[in-house]
Amino acid sequence: MIKYEDKFWIETTRLPSWDYGANAPYFVTICTKNRERFFGEIIHNNIELSPLGKIAFNYWLNIPKHFPFVELDEFIIMPNYIHGIIVINKSETHNIASLHKNKFGLQSQNLASIVRGYKSGVTTYAKTNNLHFAW
């Protein structure tokens, strides 16, 4: 671990030479803050989703509506994290057209922007509905 401004932080596990906007499947894990069980409980070996867990589930399914170049594979919502496979599958014309639409270029079409958008949506829902929640 590296120290920054007197705090330790974990270095990224991302491969520096890889373009995370490239067409590929990506296995993603997103954890809640302090592994708090915001999304439900395991009862008799099955997940019983909380109201926020149901929102997290539905928002995950809606990712391709916001990012049309994304396909979703298997995923699971657990009490304190989400595992999922996000497949980025951009056509050549999609790549070219997007460069002209966005001043940030492909930064709006990479894995980080997808995860950021998902997390933002769930967080906004929680805040709007006065639910205690944090990633």
> Does 124 have pLDDT greater than 70?
yes
Domain with residue 45: its CATH number is 3.30.70.1290
Residue 13 lies in a domain: no
Residue 105 lies in a domain: yes
Question: CA 70, CA 117: separation in Å to the nearest integer?
Answer: 13
How many domains does the chain contain in total?
Answer: 1
What is the CB neighbour count within 10 angstroms for residue 84? 19
What is the CB neighbour count within 10 angstroms for residue 48? 12
Q: What is the pTM of this model?
A: 0.80
Residue 97 lies in a domain: yes
Residue 29 lies in a domain: yes
Residue 133 lies in a domain: no
Q: 3-state class of 2 per DSSP?
A: strand
Query: Which residues 6+ apart lie within 8 Å of 59 measured at CB?
Result: 118, 121, 122, 125
Residue 124 lies in a domain: yes
What is the CB neighbour count within 10 angstroms for residue 60? 19
**pLDDT at 107 (0 to 100):** 64
What range does the domain containing 114 cover?
19-128
Residue 84 lies in a domain: yes
pLDDT digits (tens, 9 = 90+) for 68-112: 999 999 999 999 999 999 999 998 655 544 554 444 445 678 999
Residue 10 lies in a domain: no
- State how beta strands 46-49 and 70-77 pair: unpaired
What is the CB neighbour count within 10 angstroms for residue 15? 8
